[in-house]
Amino acid sequence: MSVLASKLLADKEFAAKIDALKAKYPEPRTALLACLHLCQDELRHIPAECQAFIAERLGLAPAHVRGVVTFYEMYSEKPLGKYLLQVCKTLPCMLAGSEVLLEHMERKLGLKPGQTTKDGRFTLVTVECLACCDGGPALMVNDELYKNVSPERADEILKELE
């Protein structure tokens, strides 16, 4: 278990936050997505130990929690970089140039989708849809959406993050 995960699981405040989320929902299992977001916000991923902890707090099977984590693209079992770069790969964005954008970012960062830079700053992924079909190619950096992103605009965005 990582040092960060150990600290988080030992943190009474984290457990209290999980319990508070659980109390907001009519059934404990309906708090699962919110609890997973909380963990990922804290650690930049959801390790197996945290999945088991959340499962126990919500009265769920660990396999169910892992199934949810692995089903949704928004959750990761591997640590994410400080900046999560999501390039849309659906047809409207592809027609607008997302393949060119992705190739440019791969070269610029020295990454393939799913990889993180050695310094932990950037993780590059592709996603099925960013709900921005009229503004492709679309790029999301953490929670900020960018529309009509050319390779040149991507360079500007990356420079702003330095």
Domain identity same for 61 and 107: no
Q: Which pLDDT band holds residue 21 (cuts at 50, 70, 90)?
A: very high
CATH of the domain at 148: 3.40.30.10
DSSP run (H or E) holding 23: helix 12-24
High-pLDDT (> 70) share of the chain, %:
93
Domain identity same for 17 and 44: yes
Domain identity same for 87 and 157: yes
Whether 3 has a pLDDT exceeding 60, the answer reads no
Domain identity same for 59 and 90: no
Is the pTM value of this prediction over 0.85?
no
Q: Which pLDDT band holds residue 9 (cuts at 50, 70, 90)?
A: low
Q: Does some domain include residue 9?
A: yes
Domain count, the chain: 2
Domain identity same for 111 and 57: no
Cα separation, 80 vs 136, in Å, equals: 24
Q: Residues 135, 36, 142, 120: is their CA dihedral positive or negative?
A: negative
74 dihedral zone (left: phi>0; alpha: psi -120 to 50; beta):
alpha
Domain identity same for 90 and 156: yes
Q: Which domain holds residue 38?
A: 3-71
